[in-house]
Structure 1
């Protein structure tokens, strides 16, 4: 049985508003209505009855009956969309009195059976009817226990009887507006404005000049300016011998000149332009963004590490020598953050020494990455998601208009929008985030500090300062994941940003984040390599394929552009002249090895073998497993440390390190499997920090103690190696 859809009643004199557009019904059949656009009848559309009923039910459409009739049009011109209750009570009472006179006139005509001429003969009846109507009204009010208020100087509380001419005007307006009492309501509030009359142009110019002094930083009062203009005119009149004297203004007229000034100009002159901008700026925190990634805002935040450490209790736990070093060498951090406006979800927070386009590009890559491993690294219990944005709003800083920044957004297929300078309120969510971090979130970490920085008292102050700043960055990221994302918000119907994000990603379709090949193409580092029989060798890893060898046979010993990504060494991209060719590695390297891990593992291999030409893949994997157990690997892949090298820097640093024989498949004589990150125990992860000491390093087994002793003996024999930019492996 098919479902029956009733037809909504509409006609050519009605208005149908659908999705913000006004339409006029023209014709209909059993299936649909035909509409014409109200502003231009050349545009037509057809809407089914089922869609109309559903739109009316969802309140996305409305029907205004008789909208295009003559009476509705005239009434709309007279009173607009005001209701009777929107007018003053006395004006409504007078209108109802005039309506009662009109009804009494129609009743008299019906009783006599003939139309009474609305001429001077009607004057006597109007007086009689007026008295009867008001007496009846007064009796009704006395019965209800109320009495109409009267003026103290009024001799009677009755309304004046209108003249025949006024009655005729009321009758015509009442009938032409469809017998609507609103047409009889008194709509004027006075005699209107008189024509501006300037008695003396010279006097008026002095008045205006003195009135404009009200918008001054001296903040004079209106009374003082009035005294000044009187004194100035009196001084001018002394010199006007034989001329008409200038005129002094009255208080009301002079204050009217001041009140007519632009309010923004007055506040800017008295309080300053920044104060005026802040007071009169629109509050733009209700953008209609529903889908995650629909609107993302990015901005920079300059944080003084020492001040922030003191605010959150981190400073008191640092050694005295480290505190003195930080005082002499202030550590300032530039955070670049990104916020999704649909649920106020922080998509990225990247720290750097200085604002740069490289920091923004790294933040953009962080936005489009699942950051759960970073949340796990800093000890957060809440996962950290990512998305590919549709539009990103930034300011007009030099780092955001740089070519590298615009090219990165272009390659990611993300629209980059920059509101006009000085209008920070058009990016309210990111501005509010930085204020929240500086004011609210950090206080939750009072006394909670990481213990490993405090325990390393035997290191230099400079190294400890770098570690302390890194720990502070971890603290900020953990505050975002576990506090900001789990704080209920009234804007989200008392849901947390994390809950709203999960709910909306299940409801709406979101753009897919780029894969490892696309990230390598967008954020990778480009080198030049020659194709040989082993393919191309980058960082000691051979990459080869049949397509690559065909290219070699075609062009011979020619250098090709090779692009790599710091977090994925399993494949590279080679530019063939017509496009980029993806080439996999030939030593079965998995996809989760970063360049930083590979770099430190090679240094460890050189330390063990004593010769850079030796290559042993199992030892490399063993060193990577050691780093992953210590949590160093996750920190390097996250790239949240300030002293972590940029991808270009570490890529150049590996050129000499991996010179010599590349790794081959035969080197895997003792295969070692890579393990997932097993981050070392940290008391902050459990929300507890005790006194300084080794007892908080977590329980250790006898095998781990023996392993750490053996590794310490091994490393102590090789103290002549050059220091690593990433720190030594412990």
Structure 2
């Protein structure tokens, strides 16, 4: 068997697993799985490699990781010429012919220069010779105008710069245009409702539905004309057709032909990814939310002004979502204006966290039991998912990281389909009544309607995922619901034990640096102390320590001691199980309502925390769904002025200033005239708007 040469810049794909060559001999190769922690090695003989290639189980892409080829793929947005439509691929081949012929002539003819005149003369000669090759006198030729010297110079530069790869010649026209809908919200509402009317046992045709849509818009235009309002434009029939095709096709067929016929038509005929048990393979991805479109679908046009709609159209929110492939259950999601690794890490933390409290807070009728440590995590190639910290969290969960290439969308098609279901299925199950009630009640008086709607959105998403999506028959599960699939498969296979709260903090917590002193360490105005921490202090002295802080439970911190994490509790049991945002609101509220007294007894603080935590319309925003994961700089900034003029003491403490013993002092406080005693950061006033940034 002849030896197969594999270069260090080749990409080797064995199924869905990427291999990297480690060593080579006359017998074969030793490979390591890319991204595996710990490294997993595999040996293949040359004969085995040949058989795997012949059976299409192994694929080798030559020079895949060469810089020029990588740059060309980045520009083209595809991996190979075969990924393009035939017409566009032919155009790239035509461009490459001009470029390569010019390079040949330049190498063999000194008269061929890169001046405009010489380039144009050479292009005409190349074009003429191309038409003469293999031409017959009885054939009609389709001739295209040759490129100008300026255009050709751009082709030539890109081709040489990107490793002589034909993909470098692709233009960027595909990125042109407005990706967001410019349709009038009222027209969009009518389009959506008429598309839904197609799902009827009377089986109306698209033409019939379109005539009904035109008639209703014409009727509205008469009323608008009488009131001096601009006319609505009826969308094209093709637009209605696309809207209908975007609906869940199983539900459409079942509505028109009956559930039994739909089940027979949409029976599973392929296995897809080889996944059999829960959490064996999870996918994570991001999706842009078009707030103005969702608001229009909910029928909120009557309570929103044109300024409100413009504000929604300008606001950009992302939903980051994790899906279990075997059961199609949503394991966690977050809505955020950020699209960074921090948000991806927080979403991943939801996968191994209990989410029943979130469902209860959102008013769900069902529970949300799905979660646990995954075996394989497949994100796309976005910057948030290739971040080292994100990959480190996956490794700490003892999971395998498998990055899905941009062109292989089927490796993450399940989660992308969920995004499509959200877009088409969210709004039919809800109305704008709850939003309208909030406006009518006069709540949030200082905020515009667009801001109110944004704050209601997390509750809407949780309700739809937990109560609707998880309990709707799924095409990919043979019409079993994701909820029942989770119950059935977890009963059959079980799941691995999830990390506890302390382990989650060690894996996902925000890493901070704090001073270690007799009172322990101080974070967000709270002291954390333990005997083990002081034993370490007696060994190393007053020094700086690294700790990890969980914004969703500020009752403990994890401090790095020697070569392991030490769990250290807060000296105040009242904050255990309390999230950072509730704590910040409680401190701010007590400062505002008790300005005459800077010392507050612990039971007063406890009552404030409990009252704020039970505020329904704010509680969902403090959960992992919507609360922005704060950065190190934001935590330090808030902490610098959080406790100015504020302290709380034990219920039985005397009125005089408490003694500065190890635990008696409560939370030491800086007065307005002097710096805080033992503070880790310089005191500075922090505005409520700046502190509120952690929430919003």
Structure 1 partner of 2:663 = none
Deviations 1:442-483 (A, max 9, x none): 322245543454236575675542221121232122111111
- Are 2:457 and 1:482 aligned? no
Are 1:512 and 2:497 an aligned pair?
Answer: yes
**1:275-317 deviation digits (Å, cap 9, x = unpaired):** xxxxxxxx9862232221111011111121101221233x335
Deviation for aligned residue 1:424: 0.5
Task: Indicate the residue corresponding to 2:487 in structure 1.
Answer: 502
The offset of 1:355, in angstroms, is: 1.7
Q: Aligned ranges for residues 282-431 of structure 1 at < 5 Å?
A: 286-313=272-299, 315-316=300-301, 318-320=303-305, 323-326=308-311, 330-385=314-369, 386-431=371-416
CA deviation digits over 1:667-706, x for unaligned, max 9?
6799xxxxxxxxxxxxxxxxxxxxxxxxxxxxxxxxxxxx
CA distance in 2, matches of 1:233, 1:728: 73
State the shift of 1:432 in Å: 1.0
Question: How many residue pairs get matched?
Answer: 417
Q: 2:616 aligns to what?
A: 631
| 1:595 equivalent among 567, 580, 586 | 580
Q: Tell me, yes or no, if structure 1 residue 234 matches structure 2 residue 137.
A: yes
Q: Secondary structure at the match of 1:569?
A: coil
User: CA separation in 2, counterparts of 1:463 and 1:351?
Assistant: 20
Contact 1:540 1:659 in 2 (8 A): no
Alignment of 1:657-676 (within 5 A): 657-659=642-644, 663-665=648-650
Aligned positions of 1:604-619 closer than 5 A: 604-610=589-595, 613-619=598-604
- Distance (whole Å) between structure 1 residues aligned to residue 426 and residue 634 of structure 2: 34
1:469 aligns to what?
454
Q: Deviations over 1:49-103 (max 9, x none)?
A: xxxxxxxxxxxxxxxxxxxxxxxxxxxxxxxxxxxxxxxxxxxxxxxxxxxxxxx
C-alpha change, 1:215 and 1:669, in structure 2 (3 Å) is: same
1:343–1:501 Cα contact (<8 Å) kept: yes
TM-score, length-scaled by structure 2 = 0.54
Query: Who is 1:443 aligned against?
Result: 428
Deviations 1:628-678, CA, capped at 9 Å, x for gaps: 3322563244143377866863564133212578655456799xxxxxxxx
The equivalent residue for 2:542 is 557
Q: Find the residue that maps to 1:512 and give its secondary structure.
A: coil
Q: Is 2:284–2:379's contact at 8 Å kept on the other side of the alignment?
A: yes
What is the rounded CA distance, in whole Å, between the counterparts of 1:213 and 1:285 in structure 2?
32
CA contact (8 A) 2:630 2:694 kept: no
Residue matched to 1:576:
561
Partner of 2:54: none
* Other-structure match for 1:71: none
SS at match of 2:589: helix
CA distance, structure 1, for counterparts of residue 306 and residue 348 of structure 2: 37
8 A contact 1:325–1:461 mirrored in 2: no
Contact 1:373–1:634 (CA under 8 A) maintained in structure 2: no
Q: CA 1:216/1:573 → structure 2, altered by over 3 Å: closer, same or farther?
A: closer
Distance 1:584 1:647 in 2: 20
Give the equivalent residue in structure 2 for 1:135: none
Greater alpha carbon shift after TM alignment, 363-372 vs 491-500 = 491-500
- Per the alignment, do residues 416 and 342 of structure 1 end up closer, same or farther by CA in structure 2, a change over 3 Å counting? same
Give yes or no for contact 1:533–1:549 (8 Å, CA) kept in 2: yes
Q: Specify the alignment match of 1:200 in structure 2.
A: none
Distance 1:497 1:400 in 2: 26
Shift of 1:509: 2.1
Q: TM-score, normalising length from structure 1?
A: 0.51
Distance verdict in 2 for CA 1:345–1:642, change over 3 Å: same
Structure 1 residues 660 and 273: CA distance shift in structure 2, 3 A: closer
Match of 1:189 in 2: none
Query: 1:550 and 1:452, CA in 2 relative to 1: closer, same or farther beyond 3 A?
Result: farther
Secondary structure of 1:389's counterpart equals coil
> How far apart, in 1, do the equivalents of 2:597 and 2:392 lie?
39
Q: Deviations over 1:540-599 (max 9, x none)?
A: 333222222222222222122232211222221222233221112223336321111111
d(CA) in 2 for partners of 1:294, 1:440: 27
Cα distance change on mapping 1:311 and 1:214 into 2, 3 Å: closer
Q: Secondary structure at the match of 2:314?
A: coil
Give the C-alpha shift of residue 624 in structure 1.
1.5
Distance 1:458 1:582 in 2: 41
Task: Rate the CA distance shift 1:368–1:213 in 2: closer, same or farther, 3 A.
Answer: closer
Q: Which has the larger radius of gyration?
A: 1
- Quick one: structure 1 residues 470 and 504, their matched pair in 2 at CA, closer, same or farther if it must change by over 3 Å? same
**Alpha-carbon distance, 1:493 to partner:** 4.4
Structure 1, residues 293-347: CA drift from partner, whole Å, max 9, x if none? 111011111121101221233x3353326635526x6222211111101111111
In structure 2, the residue matched to 1:532 is 517
Indicate how the Cα distance of structure 1 residues 382 and 423 shifts in structure 2: closer, same or farther if over 3 A, else same.
same
Contact 1:322 1:464 in 2 (8 A): no
Residue pairs, 1:185-224, within 5 angstroms: none
**Structure 1 residues 652 and 285, CA gap change in structure 2 (3 angstroms):** farther
Partner SS state of residue 604, structure 1: helix
Report the CA distance shift for 1:494/1:625 in structure 2 as closer, same or farther (over 3 A). same
Equivalent position SS for 1:427? helix
Taking the aligned partners of 1:213 and 1:451, their CA distance within structure 2 comes to 51
Quote how far apart the aligned CAs of 1:441 are.
Answer: 3.5
Change (3 A) 1:650 1:379: farther
8 Å CA contact retained: 1:399, 1:405: yes
Q: Which residue of 2 aligns with 1:620?
A: 605
Instruction: Specify every segment of 5 or more residues in structure 1 that has no aligned partner in the other structure, as ranges.
Output: 1-211, 218-227, 237-264, 275-282, 671-719
Partners of 2:505 and 2:87 in 1: CA distance: 63
* SS of equivalent to 1:581: strand
Contact 2:346 2:629 (8 Å CA) reproduced: no
